[in-house]
Amino acid sequence: MILVDALTKSFRRDGRDVLVLDDVSLSVGTGRIAGVIGPSGAGKSTLARCINLLERPTSGTITVGEQELTSLDDRRLQAARRSIGTIFQSANLLSSRTVAGNVALPLEIAGVPRGERRERVAELVARVGLEDHARSYPAQLSGGQRQRVGIARALALRPSVLLSDEATSGLDPDTTRSILALLRGLRDDLGLTILLITHEMEVVRDVCDQVALLRDGRIVEQGDVASLVADPASALGRGLVPARPVGTTPTGAQAWRVTYTDRAVDPGWLAGLQDELGTRVALLGASVEAVGGRPSGHVTVALDDAGLDLAARLGDRGLFAERLGADDEAQPPSAVADLVAAPPTAAEDPGTPVTRPSTTAPSATDPAAGARTGESA
Amino acid sequence: MSTVLAAATPWGEIWPLLQPALGQTMAMIVVSTAITGVLGLLLGVLLHTTGRDGLRPLPPVNALLGLVVGIGRSVPFIVLLAAIIPFTRLVVGTSLGTSAVIVPLVVGMTPFYARVVEGSLREVPRGLVEMARAAGASRLQTTLKVVLREAAPGLVGGLTITLVAIVGFSAMAGTVGGGGLGALAIDYGYNRYDGNVMLATVVLLVVIVQLFQFAGDLVVRRISHR
Ligand SMILES: Nc1ncnc2c1ncn2[C@@H]1O[C@H](COP(=O)(O)OP(=O)(O)OP(=O)(O)O)[C@@H](O)[C@H]1O
Ligand SMILES: [Mg+2]
């Protein structure tokens, strides 16, 4: 368990104090994976460094397991840190030691006897899939392999908590996926509590149970990943399953944006709806991802019958529907069949409204703009 | 050449002349380097540890150590040799002979090696120190298991440089009663125009330096895995 309470941290820079963390509170239950996401300079690394007290908090408390770390003296803190495994972005391996030697370091520090040490190292090296590289030096490893060594080392003293600061930054998508799968496996098998610092939304979506968005040293939003994604009003939720460009709404039809608000939505709801209405439901776009093994996200559909209240029909299926743009007449005429996908906007930020080319009127239907109005209401 | 250097010792008689001098020189080099290595390492670690980015920043202590090292490095060796004669007498009981030369060699070279050590330790990435601290290592454990071990190639390389410098200074010290190859070269080669002895000592010194340099490089290559 990790409990961060009212944490502030300021650094002295050029003769004045700069507040880097401002009243940050965070709680991660045992066996949970929590993500901390935020732009560069938000204070993510500082938060991680405060949790293992590499950086002393200016105020506030840090509790890991049963221990309140901020009140401990040097010696007790050293002991307490042994129950916190830390994984670093650059792996921080000793170039002078082999893979096995690097993994053995925390065991040596803790004074584990040689025989036991050797056994444990072999077990850990196997756990991260590096049996064939136990005698290699870090210089001979790939980035992903180095990261695995770092993970094995972090696990050496059987910590209850794992801190990971950008452990997958700079790795290719496949390697990232395998590292994340490894972390999730560790949580499932060992009941580890994991704090994952990252700037990649996919990482949060794929492995985290909960997430906090840090900006300028403050937590702007936090919660369970599944419920944030299910909340049509959550900016963080939309960032986790970003809106993608959707097709143009056909003439005379009504576009709806449907958000999965329930974990137990029937995956066949679209076909069911179509059968029930007896009319074609056109799929204009979908951003549906598995979050916690369940489909989540949102889809945009168009119904020929503009008068139909989709919200009422879908409410009891765990789906939230909102009407998009009132100016369907402004759209160029086209049949449901020949929908064209809008070109994706360049350098699209997750969560920013999708803009589509408006051919005739400035007020052309814009699902994202509609969603924006929808949520401000 | 042979007209000027008329009194050249015949080549057959040179070895008996060189042998004791070689022994004295080797003793001076090895013992001075060993003691300088230990003291310089300690001083260098203290300089680094108490420095601004060290494991235990102590600005006053660091400033004092820096001052001592600075003074040690700015006094020319030949002056130091004479200036610390009372101290030398106190330590080894005499100001003459091979053991008496070791004292100024150590005093002169320790500040030099200390700075080399400090520089090598500073090269160790901060991330490694953080990693060790995060794993629950004490400052001492961090220094021994991480900082010194990672800096080892630089420390050995620096010690080789120090040793080569000591070879040079030991020849100088020889002129003030320390014996060794330097004294031989001055006595025979310079004062008596004995070209053969001069040549033999020079060749021997070159060989010694090359051997130690080779050995040092070999060790560095062995322990470096970057
Ligand atoms: N030791 C320090 N002294 C002074 N300022 C610091 C120190 N460490 C961090 N900062 C400042 O704190 C702010 C947050 O830094 P931090 O490294 O926590 O950001 P981050 O969210 O991890 O960013 P990134 O995604 O780029 O890693 C930055 O403005 C940084 O300059
Ligand atoms: Mg960072």
Under 8 Å between Cβ of A116 and A176:
no
Q: Is any ligand 1 atom within 6 A of the Cβ of residue A11?
A: yes
Ligand nearest to the CA of A18: 1
Q: Which domains does chain B have, with CATH numbers?
A: 12-223 (1.10.3720.10)
pLDDT confidence tier of residue B66, bands split at 50, 70 and 90: very high
Look at residues A372, A38, A6 and name the one whose alpha carbon lies nearest to residue A221: A38
Measured by CA distance, the residue closest to atom 3 of ligand 1 is A11
Look at residues A202, A138, A213, A140 and name the one whose alpha carbon lies nearest to residue A176: A202
As a whole number of angstroms, the distance between CA A149 and CA A87 comes to 10
Cα A156 from chain centroid? 26
Contacts of A223 (CB under 8 A, 6+ apart): A210, A211, A234, A236
Give the start-to-end residue ranges of the domains of chain A: 2-227+341-369, 243-324
Spell out the per-residue pLDDT of chain A, length 377, in tens: 999 999 999 999 888 999 999 999 999 999 999 999 999 999 999 999 999 999 999 999 999 988 999 999 989 999 999 999 999 988 999 999 999 999 999 999 999 999 999 999 999 999 899 999 999 999 999 999 999 999 999 999 999 999 999 988 888 888 899 889 999 999 999 999 999 999 888 899 889 999 999 999 999 999 999 889 888 888 888 888 877 777 888 888 888 889 888 878 888 888 888 888 888 888 888 888 888 778 888 898 988 888 888 888 888 888 998 888 754 333 332 222 222 222 333 333 444 333 333 333 333 333 333 333 333 33
Supply the pLDDT for residue B6: 52
Q: Are B135 and A86 an interchain contact pair (Cβ–Cβ within 8 Å)?
A: yes
What are B180-216's pLDDT values in tens digits? 888 888 888 777 888 888 888 889 999 999 999 999 9
Q: Is the minimum CB–CB distance between A146 and chain B shorter than 8 Å? A: no
Residue B211, exposed/middle/buried by CB under 10 A (0-12, 13-18, 19+)? exposed
Catalogue the E-assigned strands of A14-89.
Answer: 16-28, 33-37, 59-64, 67-68, 84-87
Question: Which two tokens mark A17?
Answer: 């104090």
Question: Which two tokens mark A267?
Answer: 């995956």
Question: Which two tokens mark B71?
Answer: 């003074």
B9 or A341, which is more confident? B9
Supply the pLDDT for residue B17: 85
Q: Is the minimum CB–CB distance between B140 and chain A shorter than 8 Å? A: no
How far apart, in Å, do the first and last CA atoms of chain A sit? Answer: 38
Q: Are B135 and A90 an interchain contact pair (Cβ–Cβ within 8 Å)?
A: no
List chain A residues with CB under 8 Å of B138. Answer: 78
pLDDT of B96 above 90:
no
Under 8 Å between Cβ of A193 and A1:
yes
Residue A250, exposed/middle/buried by CB under 10 A (0-12, 13-18, 19+)? buried
Look at residues A122, A90, A129 and name the one whose alpha carbon lies nearest to residue A104: A122
pTM for this structure? 0.81
Task: Give me the sheet containing A59-64, strands edge to edge.
Answer: A16-28, A2-13, A59-64, A67-68
Handedness of CA B130, B136, B142, B146 (dihedral sign): negative
As a whole number of angstroms, the distance between CA A182 and CA A200 comes to 17
Residue A131 to residues A95, A135, A156, B180, Cα–Cα distance (Å):
19, 9, 16, 56
Under 8 Å between Cβ of A216 and A57:
no
- Percent with pLDDT over 90 in chain B: 58
How many Cβ atoms sit within 10 Å of the Cβ of residue A196? 26
Under 8 Å between Cβ of A165 and A133:
no
As a whole number of angstroms, the distance between CA B222 and CA A234 comes to 58
Under 8 Å between Cβ of A301 and A281:
yes
Pairing of strands A84-87, A67-68: unpaired
As a whole number of angstroms, the distance between CA A70 and CA A60 comes to 8
Supply the pLDDT for residue A347: 39
Q: Is any ligand 1 atom within 6 A of the Cβ of residue A40?
A: yes
Average pLDDT, chain B: 90
Contacts of A80 (CB under 8 A, 6+ apart): A64, A67, A69, A72, B136
CATH of domain A2-227+341-369: 3.40.50.300
Catalogue the E-assigned strands of A38-184.
Answer: 59-64, 67-68, 84-87, 161-165
A54 or B98, which is more confident? A54
Q: Is any ligand 1 atom within 6 A of the Cβ of residue A45?
A: yes
Under 8 Å between Cβ of B162 and B36:
yes
Name the architecture of domain A243-324. 2-Layer Sandwich (3.30)
Q: Is any ligand 1 atom within 6 A of the Cβ of residue A315?
A: no
Residue B4, exposed/middle/buried by CB under 10 A (0-12, 13-18, 19+)? exposed
Q: How many residues does chain A have?
A: 377
Mutate to test the interface with A, among B52, B55, B131 (most CBs of A within 10 A): B131
As a whole number of angstroms, the distance between CA B222 and CA B88 comes to 38
HEC states along chain B? CCCCCCCCCCHHHHHHHHHHHHHHHHHHHHHHHHHHHHHHHHHHHHHHHHCCCCCCCCHHHHHHHHHHHHHHHHCCHHHHHHHCHHHHHHHHCCCCCHHHHHHHHHHHHHHHHHHHHHHHHHCCCHHHHHHHHHCCCCHHHHHHHHHHHHHHHHHHHHHHHHHHHHHHHHHHHHHHHHCHHHHHHHHHHHCCCCHHHHHHHHHHHHHHHHHHHHHHHHHHHHHCCC
Under 8 Å between Cβ of A97 and A121:
no
Buried/exposed A6-35: b ≥16 CB within 10 Å, e otherwise = ebbbbeeeeeeeeebbbebebebeeebbbb
pLDDT of B178 above 80:
no
Supply the pLDDT for residue A365: 38
As a whole number of angstroms, the distance between CA A299 and CA A321 comes to 9
Under 8 Å between Cβ of B33 and B163:
yes
Under 8 Å between Cβ of A261 and A319:
yes
Q: Is A174 helix (H, G, I), strand (E, B) or coil?
A: helix
Question: Which two tokens mark A85?
Answer: 């495994």
pLDDT of B85 above 80:
yes
Q: Are B145 and A105 an interchain contact pair (Cβ–Cβ within 8 Å)?
A: yes
